[in-house]
Amino acid sequence: MDDPSRSERPDLLLAVDLAPSALDQLGALCTLHQAVTPEARVALAERIGGRIRAIVTNGTTAIPASLIAALPNLGIICAQGAGYEGVDCEAARARGIVITHGPGVNADCVADHALALLLAALRDVPRFDAAVRAGQWREGGTARPSAYGKRVGILGLGGIGRRIAKRCAGFDMEIRYHNRRAVPDMAWAYMPSVEELCAWADFLFVALPGGAATRHSVGRAALAALGPEGFLVNVGRGTVVDTAALVDALSTGGLAGAALDVIEGEPDVPAALRELPNVVLTPHIAGRSPEAMAAAIEQVLGNLTAFFAGKPVLSPIPAPT
């Protein structure tokens, strides 16, 4: 993607794949150098590391301290979407590098997908679809639970969690949530622990960010509390749920079903998880819609434009607590 006119535009390392329209928009502002694997990024840094002034990435792609150190003129890292756990923020801050993210740009899309996942798992839509395509009609079919009036636990009441809750309210579901701390002036009841939330709920939506602080927040105790009639939906990060514990619960009747858009260790999905009939899987696409992707790249462009103009960026990541 090198361009003869690159001297007029700052050089940008693109660590992820983007749609052609997004590439065109970024290319109008910067000279793009795409490297979507760790090995490609290392090779690029060795070749032209001194020219790179910006990185565009996503929440899960690793931008380690070693890569940051190999880019002496790096000034800004832009993560699409709300997450940024793949970025070594401590190393970036030590250099005075600006880090931005995209809170809220795909929240409605993720919430829509979360409800679609719940309904697909709850009503066993994938299995019934496959049966009809195979020429069957109610052969061996069983009655499936409904969503109306159930109790919903939201783990992580941020922008996505709140939108999930509002959609669940349309099904006349009762809603409670758990965060690190209670949200002031919130209509929904706060539960002091994940296990207590699971013991109360019929369905648990996971909308937590990734990282060490949230790893395996949903483990064996939480899944046991959710129980044999419970359903789990994860649209946060795969690392939040203990996959081994989830497979055990699903395969032994300890949990009725699960629906996952994010999976620990993705894109590698454990065979034990793929083979279970009571789990619905999608490939981390909850936040991908034309509207959400357009909003995400627009925010990235806004942050880059502001930075290169010497102005405050639009969406810096929160200061560490």
**CATH number corresponding to 107-281:** 3.40.50.720
CA 284 to each of CA 168, 218, 237, 261: distance values in angstroms, whole numbers, following the listed order: 21, 19, 9, 5
What type of residue sits at position 313? V
Task: Tell me the pTM.
Answer: 0.86
- pLDDT of 319 > 80? The answer is no
Question: Which residues carry out catalysis?
Answer: 237, 266, 284
The pLDDT assigned to 2 comes to 44
CA 254 to each of CA 102, 271, 307: distance values in angstroms, whole numbers, following the listed order: 37, 19, 51
Encode pLDDT of 211-228 as tens digits: 889 999 999 999 999 999
Confidence of residue 321 (pLDDT cuts 50, 70, 90): low
Percent of the chain past pLDDT 70, that is, above it, reads 97
Give the H or E element holding residue 271: helix 271-274
Confidence of residue 67 (pLDDT cuts 50, 70, 90): very high
Give the CATH H-level superfamily of domain 6-103+290-308: NAD(P)-binding Rossmann-like Domain (3.40.50.720)
The pLDDT assigned to 233 comes to 98
Q: In the chain, which segments carry CATH 3.40.50.720?
A: 6-103+290-308, 107-281
Confidence of residue 320 (pLDDT cuts 50, 70, 90): confident
Supply the mean pLDDT for the chain.
Answer: 94
Two structure tokens written together for 168: 């669940």
Task: Work out the average pLDDT over 177-181.
Answer: 94
- Do residues 109 and 282 lie in contact, with contact meaning Cβ atoms separated by under 8 Å? no
